[in-house]
Structure 1
């Protein structure tokens, strides 16, 4: 590594911690010399003495250099791996404090925007490309879950026959999708295969009657209502609902309809595969009240392997508890 490369790297670090160009030049020179007087640094950096003094004062305050005793006064650089590391840890601690404070700030922001600027609480997004881009953006910015209503008509000529690639990607990252499909979708060709793809990746899907609209809710922060008239072949506008009583009402509406909707049936021929021999034995052991440890010992598995198989069975059967696994497996005649 040559001196020019080292200079650039040091400069990048010092810019990140807030030092100016003259401070960076002085620190760079001091690193190369390890110690120097003010006049030596002024000569090497080609800067006036007052500028050198200001830069050295900053470096000392940041813990990157110290003053030596004796005359002439010399400045000694702190080893970069300790001086800069300590400085970076301090900056990281401050950033963590800011992140912790973001939630409080957001609560204050939401409280202020609910009534301060009512005209800005509903945003109209126009244009086909803009609507599609915003839909992708809303999903990508979701941290916990996306909730939605799905119903015809669909803009795409193929209707609802293709999975949402953004959803599949986010499901892999742990973002939840809870979707209520209007029962009218049951008549659409290809719908079941599409939804089953999402369910296999973790989507929670239910069927409801007479959903009032299409809707997508990102966490508790945004809601998107697409506007597509019957017979239209493209989405050209959407409402974007920001934090407000209207958003609260949409969230409450979704949760109320979710409790009244029914899970998508998973016992469609060819969709739920029969259990393997080991899975069937595991189901019998669970139904008998065996613990994970006892079931693992019987099957020659670790407890973690037992729990992994139980999770897969829950996902495959569309249930959420071990009791429901046993009930559903009994109904299917697996045990």
Structure 2
């Protein structure tokens, strides 16, 4: 059982005996495990070096077991760190390998990932391995079970780690219930978001890997994806993202909480409505996203225009921009 953390069968037998006794002499371990004294002493001393036991200074010398949840967990964490280092080295070696086979083996440049669970796993792992920035096109359908009803936890953690996220959302997401709350959470943590008509779903990790979900007409979930490794195709996808980023509309909001400031000019509902409309949502789409009727949307807009003393939506947009609301 403990071979996974570097303890052999004999080591495990001695450790079990020591834990059962909580403390033992070499002679007691020899009797329990039927080992020669030098072997028992060597194993017990190795436990001291690993932090699994301590050694008394009295006579006879006694070895005292450290609580397993402390001693074994420490070894396990060390092994996990070592495995992470190995994984990092593997990624470095793969980058070197792919650079060397960039043009020699085209089949290595595109990898097909099948199965919804595996797609989700590779997508999460791709984000976790990102060191500088994630870029992406976002549009339905989604591989994750809840679609856009809650923030991406991996993204939030990576944003806290200093990884930049730049995401262009397709205009179709404006009608998804919960989308605005999701994006606002991302914006509060540092995500940069824009809106445009995007041609596909896409994720790009640094400049080393891209993922493109494989969708056919009528598919409601993502169950397969292409992974694009360093190649001219990856370069083209990066260039496509950057070109569309320059032409897309930023999504902004003032990040104030209701009641947070006595002089607050906008209610939270008004702020959310303006954010949606500035992103290009129609009255109908904004209403669907907010759970309102189209008439309620228009009533809120009329009230806002009256407060600002403007007569048209264009004037409303100009005044809202001047005040820094959008």
Q: Is residue 207–residue 262 contact of structure 1 (8 Å, CA) maintained in 2?
A: yes
* Structure 1 position 25 matched with structure 2 position 10: no
Q: Is residue 171–residue 201 contact of structure 1 (8 Å, CA) maintained in 2?
A: no
* Structure 1 position 224 matched with structure 2 position 215: no
CA distance in 2, matches of 1:33, 1:199: 54
Q: Calculate the TM-score normalised by the size of structure 2.
A: 0.55
Unaligned runs of 5+ in 2: 277-317
* Selected match of 1:280 from 250, 256, 263: 263
Q: Is residue 148–residue 254 contact of structure 1 (8 Å, CA) maintained in 2?
A: yes
Give the direction of change, closer, same or farther, for the CA distance of 1:174–1:279 in structure 2 (3 Å limit): farther
Number of positions where the alignment pairs a residue of Structure 1 with one of Structure 2: 255
SS in 2 for 1:164: coil
SS in 2 for 1:202: helix
Give the direction of change, closer, same or farther, for the CA distance of 1:181–1:100 in structure 2 (3 Å limit): same
Q: Which has the larger radius of gyration?
A: 1
Q: Which residue of 2 aligns with 1:54?
A: 39
Give the direction of change, closer, same or farther, for the CA distance of 1:225–1:16 in structure 2 (3 Å limit): closer
**CA apart distance, 1:246:** 3.2
Q: Which residue of 1 aligns with 2:175?
A: 191
Q: Is residue 137–residue 203 contact of structure 2 (8 Å, CA) maintained in 1?
A: yes
Q: Which residue of 1 aligns with 2:62?
A: 76
Give the direction of change, closer, same or farther, for the CA distance of 1:200–1:69 in structure 2 (3 Å limit): closer
CA distance in 1, matches of 2:258, 2:56: 75
* Structure 1 position 263 matched with structure 2 position 247: no
* Structure 1 position 253 matched with structure 2 position 240: yes
SS in 2 for 1:149: strand
Give the direction of change, closer, same or farther, for the CA distance of 1:33–1:80 in structure 2 (3 Å limit): closer
Query: Equivalences for 1:95-134 in 2 at 5 Å?
Result: 96=81, 99=84, 103=88, 105-116=90-101, 117-125=105-113, 130=115, 132-134=116-118
CA distance in 2, matches of 1:264, 1:84: 48
**CA apart distance, 1:56:** 2.3
Give the direction of change, closer, same or farther, for the CA distance of 1:331–1:106 in structure 2 (3 Å limit): same
**CA apart distance, 1:180:** 1.9
**CA apart distance, 1:123:** 1.6
Give the direction of change, closer, same or farther, for the CA distance of 1:16–1:263 in structure 2 (3 Å limit): same
* Structure 1 position 139 matched with structure 2 position 123: yes
CA distance in 1, matches of 2:100, 2:81: 31
Q: Is residue 194–residue 248 contact of structure 2 (8 Å, CA) maintained in 1?
A: yes
* Structure 1 position 331 matched with structure 2 position 322: yes
CA distance in 1, matches of 2:61, 2:257: 76
SS in 2 for 1:201: helix
Q: CA RMSD in A?
A: 5.0
Unaligned runs of 5+ in 1: 1-11, 157-161, 284-312, 319-326
Q: Which residue of 1 aligns with 2:32?
A: 44
Query: Equivalences for 1:224-243 in 2 at 5 Å?
Result: 224-228=211-215, 232-234=217-219, 238-243=225-230
Q: Calculate the TM-score normalised by the size of structure 1.
A: 0.54
